[in-house]
Amino acid sequence: MRENKKSKFSISRSSVAKILLFVYDAFVVNFSYFLALWLRFDCQINTLIETAPEFIEAWLKFIPINTVFCLIIFSVFKLYRSIWTFASYREFFNVVYATIFTFVVHTVGITLFINISDMDINRMPYTYYIFGIILQFMFVLFVRFAYRFILLERSRRAVSRAKKSSRVMLVGAGSAGRMILHDMNMATDSTDKVVCLIDDNPHKVGRYIDNLCIVGNRYDIPQMVQKYDVDKIYITIPTISPADKKEILEICKETDCELKILPDVFKLEDGEIGKNRLVDVAIEDLLGREPITVDMGEIFAFLQDKTILVTGGGGSIGSELCRQIAAHNPRKLIIFDIYENNAYDIQQELRENYPELDLTVLIGSVRDSRKIFDVFARYKPQVVYHAAAHKHVPLMEHSPQEAIKNNVLGTYKTAFAAALNGCKRFVLISTDKAVNPTNIMGASKRLCEMIVQSFDKLIKEDKFSKMRPLYEHDDSEVEDRFVKGTDKINTEFVAVRFGNVLGSNGSVVPVFKKQIAKGGPVRVTHPDIIRYFMTIPEAVSLVLQAGTYAAGGEIFVLDMGAPVKIDTLARNLIRLSGLKPEVDIKIEYTGLRPGEKLYEERLMETEGLRTTPNKLINICKPTDFDADELFDNIEKLMHICYEEPDMVKDFVESIVPTYHPAGENGTTEKTKAYEEQIAAMAKA
């Protein structure tokens, strides 16, 4: 009972704060005008009392009226109901409006009061009204917002005590850098403290922004990191060119500081810039080349109002194909994939971003003849991007029959169904591992290239009626369904060949990042291994444009730029994480994996190149081979996969002249000398 009585008559902290504000406001709304009189008489109180006692008398007599009206007006504008801990612009304007109203009341009220009294004055001095209201506004506003500033400062100091603050260097003292600096200075939950700025503009060096000095240009970064004991470097230049970005990052990563960067301004969808927009430096930022551009008009004209099928549409390449196709107004987009989780993810993404898109997502395997034929017969796609494939080199070395079933037989069945159902263009996604392959995955993709070239050749020679479907099941009905309409086939078959794609499934970059996050070691197969790299959107854009150039039978080869040493890639990723290779994170060399080469090639010896309107897309000269013999061998290979899987590699070697399986050390005698030459070039 006592506790209940106590709580009944107790006063809350908010009530106490409200009472104190009442008392404070009652004092300052009157004291402000007294100070105005004091200022009017040169801050001499004796002069004021002796020469103008009537002003003091008028002010004293008006205090009760002024106090009552001010407190009522303040209450109307919620100055006693706001939570000043979270005071913002709304509360600020409430104080402004309340001040304006009290100024009107005070000016009119005291003037009328003087006129109806027996005093000898008609009005107060102008400075009384002007300075009085200014001082009142400052006093009323200060006490309310000072409470918030005190709490913010306490919070900032508490966070600083709880966590060790990081010393930050900002590279870029332009408008973006100033916005991020302001954002960091205002943040209460951040332990980052900017200690200096860098800018290449010589007119800015030595000058100050928010009391912080611009201490030098990009070449001074290592020296200033030492001088100011910098822990982190934030690059805040959203319009920086790729070449400048690469050079600055190369300088920064030698400092062992943690790096973050503001993305390209065009990647900031809402245009807002702040500390939360800084991202980790991506490895593609170190490529140092201009972004690959394509003629989107050609792609739009080619894809618009067409029914398009993407096999393997849930994979890294397939899903990006779907994204870019969806943006070009197809009549219908069909995603076909065996893995339902990936297919579901891209389905939800496209439905959210393109609600008007006519989208169908199907689960199935390209190895299933009846399923893939039903898809073509039902939806009649006009363009097919065939991205479905097994791509993992070491895994396929241990399961070669699965590489053949999925890559070779799956491509044959999909291409066959496309031809028989009126498809206009079939684009195979190939790989540079198909060139002089040393692994079964590369050999299988070379067979895929040979298949699409042979299909195109037989169609142009009007010999496609000789073709027969491939299937292991005994179903004569399938034969009848597949061979209908072979006299009306005009499908154009092409292949697009490119190298490794940054961020794709199986790429070394995410693997290295996981190893770094665990504290190492980072495992590299060989110190001299090199690869070509391109980003997923770049590769897919070129694939789409290559599809617009197709006339049938071509193998398009994408220019992947300069090769990159995987060892250098790993060391750069470690440095970009603010760590030191071989000090914080060890690097282990595990040796080449089964079927792996030190280098990848774009062309075979018998192939040459001719250019296209896009200089990054070339067409290689096809090699000659007997299409009829190839299809006979593929049918034999199909039976071997199911009946004698141990014979797969030997048989593939007999039908792919450029395939030379690697030994235990991941290489062959034929390619060893060339690999040594490549390794020497990489070291240089």
Q: Give the residue numbers annotated as catalytic, written as ranges.
A: 433
Residue 107, amino acid: T
- Which run of H or of E encompasses 426? strand 425-431
Alpha helix positions (H), 77-125 = 89-116
Q: What are the angstrom distances between the C-alpha of 374 and each of 368, 377, 476?
A: 10, 5, 16
Alpha helix positions (H), 390-467 = 393-398, 400-403, 410-420, 440-460
Separation CA 353–CA 670 (nearest Å): 50
Nearest CA to 637 out of 625, 620, 649, 626 is that of 649
Separation CA 479–CA 468 (nearest Å): 8
Reported residue count of the chain is: 684
What are the structure tokens assigned to 14, written together? 């908010």
Residue that the structure tokens 């794609």 belong to = 501
Nearest CA to 83 out of 9, 145, 6, 150 is that of 145
Answer whether 670's CB lies under 8 Å from 660's CB: yes
Answer whether 637's CB lies under 8 Å from 404's CB: yes
Looking only at the bridges linking them, the beta strands covering 208-209 and 212-216 are: antiparallel
What are the structure tokens assigned to 446, written together? 């070379």
Separation CA 514–CA 516 (nearest Å): 5
Residue that the structure tokens 């006693």 belong to = 80
Separation CA 627–CA 279 (nearest Å): 52
Separation CA 680–CA 684 (nearest Å): 6
Answer whether 549's CB lies under 8 Å from 556's CB: yes
Separation CA 489–CA 458 (nearest Å): 10
Alpha helix positions (H), 550-617 = 566-576
Separation CA 189–CA 160 (nearest Å): 9
Separation CA 572–CA 246 (nearest Å): 12
Answer whether 447's CB lies under 8 Å from 634's CB: yes
What single string gives the DSSP state of each residue in 608-657? -EEE-SSTTEEEEPPPP--HHHHHHHHHHHHHHHHH-GGGHHHHHHHH-T
* DSSP code of residue 433: G
